[in-house]
Amino acid sequence: MPRMTRRIALAAFSVFALTACGAADTGNAQTSSSGSDEIALTDITLGEANAPITIVEYASWTCPACLQFHTDVIPVLKSEYIETGKAKLVFREFPTPPANLAVAGFALARCAGEDQYYNVIEDLFAAQTNVLNLARSGGDIEGAMRTLASSYDLDGNAFDECLANKDVTYAIGEAVMKGDSQGVNSTPTVFVNGQRMQGYEWRTADGMRAILDAELGTSSASEATAE
């Protein structure tokens, strides 16, 4: 579970050149018309706005523990809770080493726009093993990232413009600062209706089911009392 230091957090603001990687942190999203597409500059919510449960996840697509969570737990959350209107998810970027590579991938997700943001996040996690292997071996990381980005019309100049977009840099930095203000220092870190998940049970599908079902039961009981 990689830990997020202040120095790494600052990388979300200052380190953005993808080529450097080869050498070696709720509501509707606001958008900018700069770059090749509309760019998401604030939190992007997956699910219905009025869902009774809000899940906030701080994670990095370069973090192996986050990959486990996105492989084992997120599909269950989507099919059983988000798509059924029981919960909504807010993913907040919290880059882990190599931080410049993590930030570059997150930038591409934001540049793809609100509608495609979570699809890019899924593709980034799917590419994690290959990309990190390229990073370790000095392989063609930029080529791999350009191939991924091309699926979302972020090729050629659009790719370069995305990585150079300072609005995107600051949007990712703001996500990091939100995590910092909540005491986030490792990834993944998850909050359910504002409560930080402790221990490790929540990092399993059954563990999250138990937590969310209990939260839904509490919400239902409160509504019945109010009536």
Domains annotated on the chain, with CATH: 6-221 (3.40.30.10)
Model confidence band, residue 38 (pLDDT cutoffs 50, 70, 90) = confident
pLDDT of 16 reads 41
CB within 8 Å of 81: residues ≥ 6 apart:
53, 87, 212
The answer on pLDDT for 6 being more than 80 is no
CB within 8 Å of 34: residues ≥ 6 apart:
161, 165, 167
Mean pLDDT, the chain, rounded, equals 85
Per-residue pLDDT averaged across 178-197, rounded?
Answer: 96
The answer on pLDDT for 81 being more than 90 is yes
The answer on pLDDT for 119 being more than 60 is yes
pTM of the model: 0.83
* % of the chain exceeding 90 in pLDDT: 78
Per-residue pLDDT averaged across 93-121, rounded?
Answer: 96
Name which of 33-37, 43-47, 169-173, 179-183 the model is least confident about.
33-37
Helices (H), 138-184: 141-150, 157-163, 166-181
